[in-house]
Amino acid sequence: MPRILTGITPSGTLHIGNYFGAMRPAIELQAGGDAYYFIADYHSMTAITDAKERLAFTRGIALDWLACGLDPAKAVFWRQSDIHEVCELTWLLGTLTPMGLLERAHSYKDKVAKGISPNFGLFAYPVLMAADILLFDTNVVPVGRDQKQHLEMTRDMAIKFNQTYGEGTLVVPEERIAEAVSAIPGLDGQKMSKSYGNTIEIFGDEKALRKKIMGIVMDSRTPQEPKPDADRNLAIQLLRLFAPKDVAIDFENRLRAGGLGYGDLKKALFEHCWNFFAPYRAKRAELAANPDYVEQVLRAGALRARAVAEKTMARARRACGLRLI
């Protein structure tokens, strides 16, 4: 059974783009493999410097994923910072990682181009990411096509390490290109992103969510006018995510034929969105009322993860000529 690993950076409030684009596909994998999921709080340090904010986001991520279906009986779930071996392996890998490899990283170049001040953490981010993967003898890493370079860099580091210190010391992971998920549109029609301020939060307030959805800007056509481009209507695109297929098709056909007002369409979108996530909201409220349980889940996950990490580090230290501890 292949070991699958996914990391989640605690950098903000969960929205439906996160859910449909990454969370749901990742959670579905726990049923078919040896699934490892971690909250990448070390990674968040390249973007967040407020300690209280990081703690809140980390706790929020744990609540969100558990509420949305991550099962600690089927998957190992932990905080990255609970496994100190990841920092040690980062150093071991870093001593063999060429500067040119890191300089070619798309994410680093993109962030610098956007005006983010470069620092060691940002530059060495791919090495920490490689350590996250290699520390747990990961066989398969699900990635989108835009993240493929990260895994290729991880493979390069693992191969270089094995060539230098002994074949088989580190498991070289394989990529699994995630099935393409169309970009989830935000409230303004652009890709949904916190950066654009156009998100629909999964666990947001009911009144605020209704206001957001009812505020989606439409064109000036009257309800009676046929709309042959109904399939490209933003509310229809979002409705397809939440409503049964036949219901979404019916609304699209009614909009195309004429006679359906945009206000009624947006009301239907809100209702289907709100009801879709109702079980998750209930579960999250239950978990939030029992913070000790959530902490126990993360600590138990860290113990299971560390059992693997310690074995990997023992192999790596022995291969490098370092004393076993």
CATH number of 3-183+290-320: 3.40.50.620
Q: Which residues are catalytic?
A: 111, 191, 194
**Is 60 exceeded by the pLDDT of residue 106?**
yes
Task: Return the CATH superfamily for domain 204-276.
Answer: Tyrosyl-Transfer RNA Synthetase (1.10.240.10)
Predicted pLDDT of residue 178: 63
**Is 60 exceeded by the pLDDT of residue 31?**
yes
pLDDT tens-digit series, residues 49-74: 999 999 999 999 999 999 999 999 99
Longest dimension (CA), the chain: 78
Asked if the domains at 3-183+290-320 and 204-276 fall in one CATH topology, the answer is no
Predicted pLDDT of residue 175: 83
As a whole number of angstroms, the distance between CA 171 and CA 66 comes to 29
Q: Please give the average per-residue pLDDT across 158-172, as a whole number.
A: 97
- The chain-wide mean pLDDT, for the chain, equals 93
In the chain, what are the domain boundaries? 3-183+290-320, 204-276
Q: Between 148 and 229, whose confidence is greater?
A: 229
Q: Between 113 and 74, whose confidence is greater?
A: 74
Q: Please give the average per-residue pLDDT across 108-136, as a whole number.
A: 90
